[in-house]
Amino acid sequence: MNYWLIKSEPFKYSWDQMVADETTYWDGVRSYPARVHLRAMQVGDICLFYHSNEGKEIVGLTRVIKEAYQDPTTEDEKWVAVDVAVIKPMTKSVTLAEIKANYTLANMALVKQSRLSVGPVEEFEFEEILKLGETSL
């Protein structure tokens, strides 16, 4: 199993909307590095759901339920989407400031490649985020 971080601006698609929908397709990614990560996602992988721009915090956990396929928002075949389902909210959201202040997370893709909309998360980083968020899987 792999771990990922997916970003969404709350005014476009919030955690509350994700919870209401229960499942959704993760589309609209137009970054080549992020596309590589979408293509690498496998059914069962877990994603940290991050509110970008407003909030700047990890607020929930989702699971990949369908691997990469043609992004339905474009006819351009080079872009893909994946389907994700809600697992649970974080007990306590984990802010970007907390992540940056944590030595264990200093090299996290969220910190090193801050504009990346979909990025990898190492297992030890995932465990540290869960600890900070007082959340268990």
Q: What is residue 51's predicted lDDT score, i.e. its pLDDT?
A: 98
pLDDT band at 103 (very low <50, low <70, confident <90, very high): very high
Instruction: Give the distance from CA 129 to its chain's centroid.
Output: 12
pTM: 0.96
- Contacts of residue 84, Cβ cutoff 8 Å, sequence gap at least 6: 6, 23, 24, 25, 26, 47, 62, 63, 64, 65
Structural contact between residues 69 and 98, judged by C-beta atoms closer than 8 angstroms: no
pLDDT band at 68 (very low <50, low <70, confident <90, very high): very high
pLDDT band at 114 (very low <50, low <70, confident <90, very high): confident
For range 87-108, the mean pLDDT: 97
Q: What is residue 79's predicted lDDT score, i.e. its pLDDT?
A: 96
Share of the chain above pLDDT 90, in %: 96
Average model confidence (pLDDT) across the chain: 96
Evaluate whether the domain defined by 3-132 bears CATH number 3.10.590.10.
Answer: yes
Identify residue 106 by its one-letter amino acid code: A
